[in-house]
Structure 1
Amino acid sequence: MGAIVVSNLGKAYRQYPTRWSRLAEWVLPGNRPRHKLKWVLREISFTVAPGEAVGLIGINGAGKSTLLKLITGTTQPTTGSVFMEGRVAALLELGMGFHPDFTGRQNAVMAGQLLGMTVEEIHALMPDIEAFAEIGDYMDQPVRVYSSGMQMRVAFAVATARRPDILIVDEALSVGDAYFQHKSFERIRAFRRQGTTLLLVSHDKQAIQSVCDRAMLLDGGRLAMEGPPEQIMDYYNALIAERENATVRLNTTGEGKVQTVSGTGEATVADIALLDEHGERVEVVDVGAPVTLRVTVRASAPIPRMVLGYMIKNRLGQPMYGTNTHLKALPLDDVAAGEEVVYRFAFPMNLGAGSYSVATAIVSTDTHLVNNYEWRDLALVFTVVNMRRPHFEGSAWLDPTVDIQRP
């Protein structure tokens, strides 16, 4: 079993005012420093327990790649330490260490040796590596003729040819095609079931929420937040929309979940309810039952153009369905301050049994990145149960009619 312990980790680079300052610092007497330290990471501490899967997120430049290089030992820290227990496989920069003039097979042998495998082990595993990479005759072609996706296929196939105790994956998987991404994540899930510890860096919300037990948000070189993946991803998305923390708020609901609310507050959801066919509020709904999502929006300032959207998410925070009044060609113009607008969205609850939540967004277009009046996660929580339908698997009720013909 593998574990990762990061203690007070920090990384700083020296910045010199001129190109001669570095030489002067080395050769002139007195040892007077002639540089400033540029801190990329500061005071990072966390533990990944054996068998745990942790997602690391943050905007570009937050320090994610530097942190992974410190953890894997390709860069030395300025402060702090990293302790890892077990066999480690890391997939960082795409094709890192691959030589463009060598073939994929030759590079696979060298990459395997860097991971601690013997040449005999690599040759024994080569049929599995080729089968997983699925690049055919290109395996014996120079890597310089590979696409970025082909490089990623070979690199991932080699790194995961043996189940590691610790698997560290950077954004490299994002360049692959959809088929290979599904195939790769299925292998990651299989490793997890066998006890592999996972540290995953990704901007893919569904990947983080479906694979990871916990998520960490890196912001400005510091560990800003950690917690359940859905909570961290909601906060991260709110930060992206706002570009500053001033209007992002965290509220604890009655059920103990942390709700992320962001926006200017010029319009807000005053009430939200799920109604049955009789117009009564419900928290439990039968599969396929007709329901109405009623949302009351109150404007506290004049809104030139107002759009309301909602997203239904499952218990992992993965989107089930979402739409808005812009997509429905029903935006409202010139909403006055103090005005209340009641929206009703009627639909059959064609979801599988489980727990779901509704997120709402009040914006001016089809995105919350332009005018974000309010974004509210966990605005409503409800449960779907199956009381009248035949048993089925999955998150959607798509009952078919079946026609069978026999000769």
Structure 2
Amino acid sequence: MSSELAVSVKDLSKVFHIYDSPRARLLQMLLGSRKQFYREFWALRDINFDVKRGETVGIVGHNGSGKSTLLQVISGTLSASAGSVVTNGKVAALLELGSGFNPEFTGRENVILYGQILGMSREEIEEKYPAIVEFSEIESFIDQPLKTYSSGMYVRLAFSVAIHVNPDILIVDEALSVGDALFQAKCMAVLKKLMDRGTTLLFVSHDPGAVKALCNRAVLLDHGNMLACGATDDVIEAYYSTYVRKKQRVISNDDLVRPQSVELDSELTDGADDFQQRASFQRIRNGRASFVNVQLLDDEERITRQVTYGDTVTLRMVVSVEEDLPMLAFGYHLRDKNGFDVAYSDTGLEDAHLIDLRAGEVYTVDWTFRTQLRAGDYSISAVASVPIDLGIGQVDTCDHVPIAVQFNVSRGIYLPLHGAVHFENKVRTRVLSKAAV
């Protein structure tokens, strides 16, 4: 294994034996390999990827995809059925809630126990004990049995011990979602400090925003198979695509979308071929309505890819309706070069859904806004959908284009912007007292 690698996973597979009854398990023990009384469940199949030192890799996938099993094999709490996992350095793992803890022991006793499991000596634990308790913020309960703790208190204590191990490789499996908002923010700040220090992080989360914020790369699992491994934004889009494909009908993206019966003005089709080429990446369509073109226009309605801070632009979506629809909603995500969501809007927020549409109709949807963004490269994703139950976020995705528009923002003559975006502010100052002359 190269010294540049922190983790190397080669042809990794993990199978579990599922018995339908205790009797079947007993018969298997008695008869051994002469007869099989179990069903095989492959939690992982032929997983291959490497993680470099100091890299942060997110593991994403739907429930049952094998994420937790993968991390358990990497951390050494489960053995592989086939293939290999090699780690280079001290590993600390924060797995499912309560892993490595004894609920009958006090918090103090569990700090010692868990610290030793993670490879700390008794002297190291005693030296770091005050800092561990202080970070966990549960000092008043530290001598109470863990079985009296809430789930949030469990996580506080486990995370505090794990980060004070000073690991070379830190594995975090969704555990931080249990803590309150303040503690989660505190944990994120610590994780970023560890990353800056060169700690390798393997991170499982169902929150795409957290994965994008923390991770250089990501791995997508589905039913134990690795579907994608690469840039975080690309993998998150693939993750979203697999979810939509499981929930609704999806058609092939081979053919370009053209309006059925309406001739469009040339300004609406300007750049349409380039749009269709960009749109092919991770595009999801169901054939009910499709984007013909998406353009970014300046204040003179010319297509632009270069914008100066403060300019007013229009995001124009041209959509063709392929079948009669009671309602059609639209939205967009504006993302920075790392794929992190900077701004979002939809026609529900703007009270602008299209109602009672007929097959063959073509519409434009214009979004006009000032680009008060930090200088850099940006992209915009576009989505058209039929609302089903917005209370639970259920929609029928007609067309989702992860990269509909790409553009650059320059600072121009303005002062540098130190945040991602500038809000409009009303600033008022008052003199409460003046110095005597």
TM-score by length of 2: 0.86
Partner SS state of residue 157, structure 1: helix
In 1, Cα distance between equivalents of 2:234 and 2:253: 10
Alignment-derived partner of residue 216 in structure 1: 219
Partner SS state of residue 272, structure 1: strand
Which among 309, 319, 330 is matched to residue 297 of structure 1? 319
Contact 1:262–1:374 (CA<8 Å) still a contact in 2?
yes
Q: CA deviation at 1:161?
A: 0.5
Q: Alignment RMSD, CA only?
A: 2.5
Contact 2:380–2:404 (CA<8 Å) still a contact in 1?
yes
Alignment-derived partner of residue 401 in structure 2: 376
In 1, Cα distance between equivalents of 2:320 and 2:103: 60
Aligned 1:116-155 pairs, distance under 5 A: 116-155=119-158
Q: 1:382 to 1:255 in 2, by over 3 A?
A: farther
Moved more, 37-46 or 377-386: 37-46
Aligned 1:129-278 pairs, distance under 5 A: 129-243=132-246, 247=250, 259-278=281-300
Alignment-derived partner of residue 24 in structure 1: 27
Corresponding pairs, count: 407
Q: 1:274 to 1:29 in 2, by over 3 A?
A: closer
Moved more, 351-360 or 214-223: 351-360
Q: 1:15 to 1:144 in 2, by over 3 A?
A: closer
Contact 1:291–1:349 (CA<8 Å) still a contact in 2?
yes
Q: CA deviation at 1:250?
A: 8.3
Which among 74, 77, 80 is matched to residue 74 of structure 1? 77
In 2, Cα distance between equivalents of 1:122 and 1:184: 20
Unaligned runs of 5+ in 2: 255-273
Alignment-derived partner of residue 377 in structure 2: 355
Q: CA deviation at 1:28?
A: 4.4
Contact 2:284–2:399 (CA<8 Å) still a contact in 1?
yes
Q: CA deviation at 1:137?
A: 1.1
Alignment-derived partner of residue 390 in structure 1: 415
Query: What percentage of aligned pairs have identical amino acids?
Result: 36
Contact 1:263–1:374 (CA<8 Å) still a contact in 2?
yes
Alignment-derived partner of residue 3 in structure 1: 6
Q: CA deviation at 1:2?
A: 6.3
Say whether 1:36 aligns with 2:39.
yes
Q: 1:328 to 1:246 in 2, by over 3 A?
A: closer
Alignment-derived partner of residue 313 in structure 1: 335
Partner SS state of residue 236, structure 1: helix
In 1, Cα distance between equivalents of 2:30 and 2:364: 75
Moved more, 12-21 or 221-230: 12-21
Q: CA deviation at 1:254?
A: 10
Moved more, 29-38 or 173-182: 29-38
Contact 2:228–2:238 (CA<8 Å) still a contact in 1?
no
CA shift digits 1:148-190 (9 cap, x unpaired): 1111111001001032111111000111112211211221111
Contact 1:11–1:39 (CA<8 Å) still a contact in 2?
yes
CA shift digits 1:23-43 (9 cap, x unpaired): 333334982333332222111
Question: Residue type matched to 1:181 in 2?
Answer: Q
In 1, Cα distance between equivalents of 2:421 and 2:291: 28
CA shift digits 1:336-361 (9 cap, x unpaired): 11211011111211222121111111
Q: 1:157 to 1:332 in 2, by over 3 A?
A: same
In 1, Cα distance between equivalents of 2:79 and 2:192: 31
Contact 1:249–1:260 (CA<8 Å) still a contact in 2?
no
TM-score by length of 1: 0.93
Unaligned runs of 5+ in 1: none
Contact 2:317–2:365 (CA<8 Å) still a contact in 1?
yes
In 2, Cα distance between equivalents of 1:386 and 1:29: 72
Q: CA deviation at 1:313?
A: 1.4
CA shift digits 1:60-102 (9 cap, x unpaired): 0111111111111211221122111111110001121222232
In 1, Cα distance between equivalents of 2:168 and 2:355: 57
Q: 1:196 to 1:237 in 2, by over 3 A?
A: same
Question: Residue type matched to 2:345 in 1?
Answer: T
